[in-house]
């Protein structure tokens, strides 16, 4: 996310200086991030997510002159997106519609970065395991496939998958403990 | 409209954005003060002894300006997306402590039998009602400015906006206010500004949406 911040900020500043190409690249990059952010929070209404994305992009574009380079650009962008999202829910609520719990719960996740970091950490750690263990854990633990189906997919016996998952998990625990110290 | 088309359209719109923040802010504050003064003259008039009392009037207006000034950094911070208030809250706390200190010093220094009179100004403190009324033009002008900055915390922003407007309203009110006791001013002007903050917090939730 730090990389994204540096990259986005550079594009934003060049766009502000009048570089239309940089501004377009900035908006495109932002729309990719925000689409994922909004869709995750509007799982029950994906078409609303696209509308909100466009509203947010317009808000970012028309207010870009008030952005202060001394502050992180990602914080600025997500604050605007979060505001548009809350405003959207408020409008729906006034119309007497209920907000699905699974959508609202997403609002309380502390930061978008945390989820991304966690996902990246798991991927990185998994890459350190032998192929057999990695596949077993990915299917059984991350994708929720049954041991039987996983065995069929990888081409191992069921007990092999169980043992690989178990060993792999133990190794992962050790790696994470090492990473923390 | 497809999002990619929107991005194309936005990228083509390379027109330089509006005038900077500082001139618009100065405009809102100065015009707000002039309108408040106009309202004051139209409905209440100046105090009759304004010539002789000009030092007191200046001091009271200065106090009110200080009240607006300590909240202004917070307002500007909250008005922009994704900013933490930080030290700007402490500046307001400092102002409240200053008010408390002035009241305490003025009352303890005076004759005990006159304390209540010094504190209440001898009548109902009308400034608590009139200052919020005089604050409305500034609040409207600041609201027009702040909405363009995309505030994301509307209640807090509304409170800060109300307090700044209250300070400007109090500057105009100082030309009419007949009570010159320091304990009175430090109490009731501050209460009036706080009331403006409460009104601003409630109104801001609705009126500052963008």
Residue A114: pLDDT above 60? no
Residue A75's contacts (CB-CB under 8 Å, 6 or more residues apart) are B81, B82, B83
- DSSP letter for A98, please: P
Q: Output A137-143 pairs: Cβ under 8 A, ≥24 positions apart.
A: A137/A164, A137/A165, A137/A168, A137/A169, A137/A172, A140/A165, A141/A165, A141/A169
Please check whether residues A97 and A117 belong to one and the same domain: no
Residue A165: pLDDT above 70? yes
Please check whether residues A76 and A44 belong to one and the same domain: yes
Nearest CA in chain B to A18: B14
Q: Mind listing the pLDDT tens digit for each residue in A90-110? A: 888 777 776 666 565 555 554
Please check whether residues A122 and A135 belong to one and the same domain: yes
Q: Mind listing the pLDDT tens digit for each residue in B54-100? A: 899 999 999 999 999 999 999 999 998 888 888 999 999 999 999 99
Average pLDDT for A167-177: 80
How many angstroms away from the CA of A50 is the closest CA of chain B? Answer: 8
Helix (H, G, I), strand (E, B) or coil at A109: coil
Please check whether residue B157 is in contact with residue B204, taking contact to mean a CB–CB distance below 8 angstroms.
yes
How many angstroms away from the CA of A15 is the closest CA of chain B? Answer: 9
Residue in B8, B18, B81 nearest the CB of A83: B81
ipTM above 0.90, yes or no: no
B10 and A79 within 8 Å at the Cβ level: the answer is no
Please check whether residues A94 and A122 belong to one and the same domain: no
Domain boundary among A70, A87, A109: A109
Please check whether residues A80 and A134 belong to one and the same domain: no
Q: In the structure, what pLDDT confidence band is assigned to residue B192 with cuts at 50, 70 and 90?
A: very high
Domains: count for chain A: 2
Element (H, E) at A52: helix A46-62
Rounded to 10°, the helix B54-78/B21-43 angle is: 140
Which of the two residues, A44 and B107, has the higher pLDDT score? Answer: B107
Residue A23: pLDDT above 60? yes
Distance, in Å, from the CA atom of B64 to the CA atom of B176, rounded to the nearest integer, reads 14
Residue in A61, A65, A87 nearest the CB of B10: A61
Average pLDDT for B198-209: 94
Please check whether residues A155 and A73 belong to one and the same domain: no
Residue A21's contacts (CB-CB under 8 Å, 6 or more residues apart) are B11
How far is Cα of residue A150 from the mean position of the Cα atoms in its chain?
A: 26
Please check whether residues A65 and A121 belong to one and the same domain: no
Which residues of chain A have a CB within 8 Å of the CB of B13? Answer: 61
pLDDT given for residue B53 in this prediction: 86
Domain membership of residue A136 as a residue range: 113-180
How many angstroms away from the CA of A54 is the closest CA of chain B? Answer: 6
Residue in A53, A58, A66 nearest the CB of B21: A66
Q: In the structure, what pLDDT confidence band is assigned to residue A120 with cuts at 50, 70 and 90?
A: low
Task: Give the percent of chain B with pLDDT over 70.
Answer: 97
* Chain B residues bordering chain A (beta-carbon distance below 8 Å): 1, 3, 6-8, 10-14, 16-18, 20-21, 80-83, 148-150, 152, 209-210
Please check whether residue A51 is in contact with residue B35, taking contact to mean a CB–CB distance below 8 angstroms.
no
Task: Give the percent of chain B with pLDDT over 90.
Answer: 63
Residue in A21, A71, A82 nearest the CB of B152: A82
Domain residue limits, chain B: 29-207
B10 and A78 within 8 Å at the Cβ level: the answer is no
Say which CATH number the domain at A153 has: 1.10.10.10
Mutate to test the interface with B, among A23, A51, A82, A107 (most CBs of B within 10 A): A23
- Average pLDDT of every residue of chain B: 91
Q: In the structure, what pLDDT confidence band is assigned to residue A7 with cuts at 50, 70 and 90?
A: confident
pLDDT given for residue A175 in this prediction: 76
pLDDT given for residue A151 in this prediction: 87
CB atoms within 10 A of CB B60: 25
Residue A157: pLDDT above 70? yes
Please check whether residue B176 is in contact with residue B61, taking contact to mean a CB–CB distance below 8 angstroms.
no
Domain boundary among A82, A109, A136: A109
Say which CATH number the domain at A63 has: 1.10.1740.10
Please check whether residues A131 and A91 belong to one and the same domain: no
Please check whether residues A89 and A129 belong to one and the same domain: no
Please check whether residue B130 is in contact with residue B44, taking contact to mean a CB–CB distance below 8 angstroms.
yes
Domain boundary among A89, A109, A129: A109
Residue in A68, A75, A87 nearest the CB of B209: A87
Please check whether residues A49 and A131 belong to one and the same domain: no
Average pLDDT for B120-149: 92
Please check whether residues A121 and A86 belong to one and the same domain: no
Please check whether residues A16 and A79 belong to one and the same domain: yes
Mutate to test the interface with A, among B8, B11, B14 (most CBs of A within 10 A): B11
């Amino acid at each position: 996310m730090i990389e994204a911040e540096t990259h986005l900020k550079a594009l934003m500043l060049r766009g502000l200086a009048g570089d239309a190409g940089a501004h377009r690249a900035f908006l495109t990059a932002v729309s990719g991030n925000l689409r994922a952010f909004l869709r995750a929070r509007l799982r029950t209404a994906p078409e609303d997510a696209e509308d909100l994305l466009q509203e947010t992009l317009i808000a970012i574009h028309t207010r870009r002159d008030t952005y202060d380079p001394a502050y992180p650009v990602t914080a600025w962008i997500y604050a605007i997106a979060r505001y548009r999202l809350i405003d959207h829910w408020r409008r729906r609520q006034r119309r007497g519609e209920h907000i699905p719990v699974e959508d609202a719960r997403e609002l309380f996740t502390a930061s978008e970065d945390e989820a991304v970091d966690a996902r990246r950490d798991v991927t990185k750690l998994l890459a350190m395991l032998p192929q057999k263990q990695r596949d077993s854990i990915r299917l059984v633990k991350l994708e929720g496939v049954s041991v039987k189906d996983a065995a069929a997919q990888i081409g191992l016996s069921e007990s092999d998958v169980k043992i690989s998952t178990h060993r792999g998990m133990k190794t992962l625990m050790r790696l994470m403990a090492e990473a923390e110290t | 409209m497809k999002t990619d088309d929107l991005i194309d359209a936005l990228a083509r719109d390379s027109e330089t954005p509006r005038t900077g923040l500082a001139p618009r802010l100065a405009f809102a504050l100065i015009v707000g003060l002039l309108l408040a003064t106009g309202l004051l003259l139209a409905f209440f008039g100046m105090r009759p002894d304004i010539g002789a009392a000009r030092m007191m009037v200046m001091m009271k207006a200065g106090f009110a300006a200080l009240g607006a000034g300590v909240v202004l950094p917070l307002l500007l911070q909250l008005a922009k997306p994704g900013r933490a208030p930080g030290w700007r809250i402490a500046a307001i706390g400092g102002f409240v402590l200053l008010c408390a200190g002035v009241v305490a010093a003025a009352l303890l220094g005076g004759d005990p039998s006159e304390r209540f009179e010094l504190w209440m100004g001898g009548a109902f403190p009308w400034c608590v009602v009139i200052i919020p009324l005089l604050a409305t033009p500034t609040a409207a002008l600041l609201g027009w400015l702040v909405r363009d900055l995309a505030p994301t915390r509307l209640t807090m922003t509304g409170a800060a906006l109300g307090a700044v407007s209250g300070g400007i309203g109090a500057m105009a009110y100082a030309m009419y206010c007949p009570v010159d006791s320091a304990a009175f001013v430090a109490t009731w002007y501050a209460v009036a500004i706080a009331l403006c903050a409460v009104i601003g917090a409630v109104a801001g939730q609705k009126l500052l949406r963008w």
